């Protein structure tokens, strides 16, 4: 077997659906039927999962550290809110896509700023763009409603058939469907030759350029795609909660997002989904212990994660599951998180 | 005309203050290449120490200032020896996560101890009010800030350029391996510099309570300002961050006075444009590492 076909063989093996993945999605779907009283928090987790998946695309696969990913979330949220509020596009799915496209346009425009420079400049530029948009949203309060946010958003039924109910059931399944479709697409993208080239860029941009990968164009493409995902997450936020306020752009949102992704692990797409569940549970736990000061404990979790080391932590978490898998299916089937540093 | 001069004066005072607050970060971020987003937390610590000493224990303001410096420096060196030290060689992502965590913890902790409202430090009567100089209104407090910060800047430049410690620091930054080969204790130099930077931030925090406002969210609110000073100013000398602070201070004061509706818009746009134009900062040189 030649080297090229060898690479292809391994890439295809990686891309194949595992039983674990199918089981994961079945469990997620089952949650919708098992906990009918928890639709709101579960919808919240799904939104966060989608948003985190968007960050994973650029951080986990392309190695771009962003401190301002909330910018796209916010644009998506306000776009969806304005579309619904002024009755421009009443159909939620169509509005969702348009909101995502709006974020995508911003992502494309700002990607040229982001691909320049090194980590530090990227951090600053992404953070600056998010802050800039927050300042703009505050400035044009006649459009955005300023600090009060957009109020009185009335959502129309999905496809004109399924109305949003007050228990959030429709919202949950709607979010789940959107998440699943976008997950399928992201999965396809990261396992395609395009996705493989992104990994090469992340590992060593110079070497990637030397073997003929157009580094900048690839980075622009994935950044734009991630912006689209984040915009959709923001739009889902507005559509399922019927509010959009200035805090969609807040720095804390971007910072929390990093934490979610780091809890779940970068670079295998499920990190965002698992991280979102763990993060929301932690948040619930901390806010029942100390309602006002839960941020302290979130901060402590971040510090501990970094000090212990992300890789080591994930090994510990996977220790017991792997022990069981090894007993049942033999050594080959062991789950490993393909974690590497950005 | 006098309004312009008064604004200029206020802007200079503001900029000087930003420089004292941020120059510690210029060393850690610019020279040691460590992304320390928790820098504002040290400033806040100094501010609160000063507030407690002056308001609750009745210390004179000028006696409390050095103590603000010392306490922040002590916290700085304690954290550097126990935690930060392990992260110098880690990726930027890890550094960002770690320092954001620290910032969140400091915000919640101060909120818990002192409450979430803004606090004020009781100033001595000699520092209140303003006087006229050729028709230009000069705030006494701001004049004091300019004097203190100006002296500090000159002092810092002298230490960096003329003393043995200064040359050790520059050597350690330029090439840590070669420097330690020459017998310079690089970790010690970095630890000392880190602590001194934190101390300066603490002093700045104490001075800024009157102008910037001091509340538990201080580290988050002004994080971007500190980062702007460092990234725009570059890291080749302390002159770069100093000029960047002055620019930022004057720009921000003038922006708030002449186009109040635009808010912080001007500053962020300026920063993004400068970073795109010169990724290593206005006065920077290409990164050594």
Is B45 contained in some domain? Answer: yes
How many Cβ contacts (< 8 angstroms) between chains A and B? 129
Separation CA B238–CA B252 (nearest Å): 21
Tens of pLDDT, residues A256-303: 899 899 888 888 888 889 999 999 988 888 888 887 788 888 889 889
Q: Is residue B247 part of a domain?
A: no
User: For residue B120, is it within any domain?
Assistant: yes
Mean pLDDT of chain A: 86
The answer to whether B29 and B187 are in contact (CB under 8 A) is no
**Mean pLDDT, all residues of chain B:** 85
The pairing of strands B130-133 and B136-139 is antiparallel
Note whether A229 and A107 are within 8 A (CB): no
Q: What is the pTM of this model?
A: 0.87
Asked whether residue B7 is assigned to any structural domain, the reply reads yes
CA pair distance B24, B65, nearest whole angstrom = 17
- Taking only residues 219 to 248 of chain B, the set having a beta carbon closer than 8 angstroms to any beta carbon of chain A reads 220, 223-224, 227-228, 231
- A254, A278, A301: which is closest to A123 by C-alpha? A254
Within a domain: B36: yes
Nearest chain A CA: its distance from B161 CA (Å): 27
Backbone angles phi, psi at B130, to 5 degrees: -145, 165
At A62-110, the pLDDT tens digits run 888 888 899 999 999 999 999 988 888 888 899 999 999 999 999 999 9
Residue extents of the structural domains in chain A? 7-14+35-252
Given a cut of 60, whether residue A236 has pLDDT beyond it is yes
- pLDDT surpasses 70 at A329: no
Give yes or no for residue B287 having a pLDDT over 50.
no
Mutation for B interface: A64, A119, A124, A341, most B CBs within 10 A:
A124
- Where does the pLDDT of residue A214 fall: very low under 50, low under 70, confident under 90, or very high at 90 and above? very high
The answer to whether residue B171 is domain-embedded is yes
User: How far, CA to CA in Å, does B66 sit from each of A181, A221, B146, B193?
Assistant: 60, 53, 17, 17
Rounded CA separation A287/A281 (Å): 10
Considering the domain boundaries, does residue B50 fall inside one? yes
Q: In Å, what is the CA distance from B36 to each residue of A49, A62, A96, A309, B24?
A: 28, 23, 38, 18, 10
Going by pLDDT thresholds of 50, 70 and 90, the confidence category of residue A342 is very low
Specify whether the CB–CB gap between B91 and A291 falls below 8 A: no
pLDDT of A128 above 90: no
| Closest residue in B to A113 (Cα–Cα) | B276
The phi and psi torsions of A150 (rounded to 5 degrees) equal -80, 125
Distance CA A164, CA A119 (A): 42
Give dist(CA A125, CA A133) in Å, integer. 12
Tell me what pLDDT residue A95 has: 92
Q: How far apart are CA A226 and CA A68, in angstroms?
A: 12
Please list the alpha-helical segments (H only) found in A36-148: 39-56, 70-85, 92-114, 119-139, 141-144
Query: What is the residue range of B105's domain?
Result: 2-218
What is the total count of domains within chain B?
1
The Cα B241–Cα B258 span in angstroms is 25
Contact yes or no for A65 and B92 at CB 8 A:
yes
**Cβ contact, residue pair A118, B262, below 8 Å:** no
Question: How many helices (H) and strands (E) are present in chain A, helices listed first?
Answer: 15, 0
Min Cα separation B278/chain A (Å) = 9
Residue among A162, A161, A106 nearest A136 (CA): A106
Q: Quick: pLDDT tens for B231-269.
A: 888 766 778 888 889 988 888 888 888 877 776 777 788
Chain A closest CA to B98's CA: distance in Å? 5
Structure tokens at A77: 């949220």
Interface of A with B (CB under 8 A): 59, 65, 67, 113, 116-121, 123-125, 127-129, 131-132, 135-136, 138-139, 251-252, 255, 258-259, 262, 292-296, 298-303, 305-307, 310, 341-342
- Angstrom CA distances, B204 to B111, B217, B226, stand at 20, 16, 12
Place of tokens 């292809």: A8
Yes or no, beta carbons of A258 and B102 under 8 Å apart: no
Predicted confidence at residue B40, as pLDDT, reads: 92
> Could you read off the pLDDT of A137-181 as tens digits, one per residue?
888 888 887 777 888 787 888 887 788 877 788 889 999 999 999
Which chain A residues are within 8 Å of B289, Cβ to Cβ? none
């Amino acid at each position: 077997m030649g080297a090229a076909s060898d690479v292809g063989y391994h890439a295809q093996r990686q891309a194949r659906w595992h039983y674990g993945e199918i089981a994961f999605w079945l469990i997620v779907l089952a949650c919708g039927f098992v906990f009918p009283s928890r639709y709101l928090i579960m919808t919240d987790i799904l939104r966060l999962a989608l948003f985190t998946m968007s960050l994973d695309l650029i951080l986990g696969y392309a190695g771009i550290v962003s401190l301002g990913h909330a910018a796209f979330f916010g644009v998506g949220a306000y776009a969806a809110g304005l579309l619904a509020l002024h009755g421009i596009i009443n159909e939620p799915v169509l509005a969702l896509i348009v909101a995502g496209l709006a974020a995508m346009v911003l992502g494309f425009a700002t990607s040229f700023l982001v691909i320049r420079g090194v980590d530090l400049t990227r951090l600053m530029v992404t953070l600056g763009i998010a802050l800039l948009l927050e300042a703009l949203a505050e400035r044009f309060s006649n459009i955005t409603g300023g600090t009060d946010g957009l109020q009185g958003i009335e959502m129309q039924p999905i496809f004109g058939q399924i109305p949003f109910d007050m228990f959030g059931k429709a919202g949950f399944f709607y979010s789940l469907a959107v998440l699943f479709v976008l997950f399928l697409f992201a999965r396809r993208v990261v396992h395609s030759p395009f996705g493989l080239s992104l990994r090469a860029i992340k590992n060593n941009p110079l070497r990637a350029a030397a073997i003929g990968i157009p580094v900048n164009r690839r980075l622009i493409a994935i950044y734009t795609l991630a912006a689209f995902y984040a915009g959709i997450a923001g739009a889902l936020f507005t559509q399922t909660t019927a509010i959009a306020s200035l805090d969609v752009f807040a720095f804390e949102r971007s910072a929390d997002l990093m934490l979610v992704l780091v809890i779940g692990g970068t670079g295998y797409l499920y990190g965002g989904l698992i991280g979102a569940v763990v993060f929301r549970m932690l948040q619930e736990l901390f806010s029942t212990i100390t309602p006002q000061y839960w941020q302290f404990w979130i901060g402590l979790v971040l510090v501990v994660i970094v000090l212990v080391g992300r890789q080591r932590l994930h090994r510990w978490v996977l220790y017991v599951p792997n022990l069981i898998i090894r007993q049942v299916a033999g050594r080959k089937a062991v789950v490993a998180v393909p974690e590497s540093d950005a | 005309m006098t309004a312009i001069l008064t604004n200029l004066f206020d802007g200079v005072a503001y900029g000087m203050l930003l420089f004292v607050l941020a120059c510690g970060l210029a060393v850690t971020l610019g020279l040691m290449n460590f992304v320390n987003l928790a820098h504002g937390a040290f400033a806040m610590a100094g501010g609160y120490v000063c507030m407690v000493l002056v308001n609750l224990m009745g210390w004179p303001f000028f006696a409390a200032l050095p103590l603000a410096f010392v306490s922040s420096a002590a916290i700085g060196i304690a954290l550097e020896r126990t935690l930060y030290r392990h992260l110098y060689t880690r990726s930027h992502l890890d550094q960002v996560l770690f320092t954001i965590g620290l910032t969140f913890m400091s915000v919640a902790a101060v909120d818990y101890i002192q409450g979430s409202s803004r606090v004020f430090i009781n100033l001595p009567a000699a520092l209140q009010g303003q006087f006229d100089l050729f028709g230009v209104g000069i705030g006494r407090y701001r004049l004091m800030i300019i004097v203190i910060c100006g002296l500090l800047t000159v002092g810092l430049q002298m230490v960096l350029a003329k003393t043995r410690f200064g040359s050790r620091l520059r050597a350690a930054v330029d090439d840590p391996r070669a420097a330690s080969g020459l017998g310079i204790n690089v970790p010690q130099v970095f630890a000392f510099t880190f602590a001194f930077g934190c101390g300066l931030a603490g002093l700045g925090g104490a001075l800024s309570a009157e102008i910037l406002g001091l509340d538990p969210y201080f580290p988050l609110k002004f994080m971007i300002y500190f980062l702007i000073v460092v990234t725009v100013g570059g890291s080749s000398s302390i002159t770069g961050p100093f000029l960047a602070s002055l620019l930022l201070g004057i720009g921000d004061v003038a922006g708030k006075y002449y186009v109040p509706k635009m808010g912080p818009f001007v500053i962020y746009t300026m920063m993004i444009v400068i970073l795109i134009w010169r990724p290593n900062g206005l006065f920077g040189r290409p990164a050594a590492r």
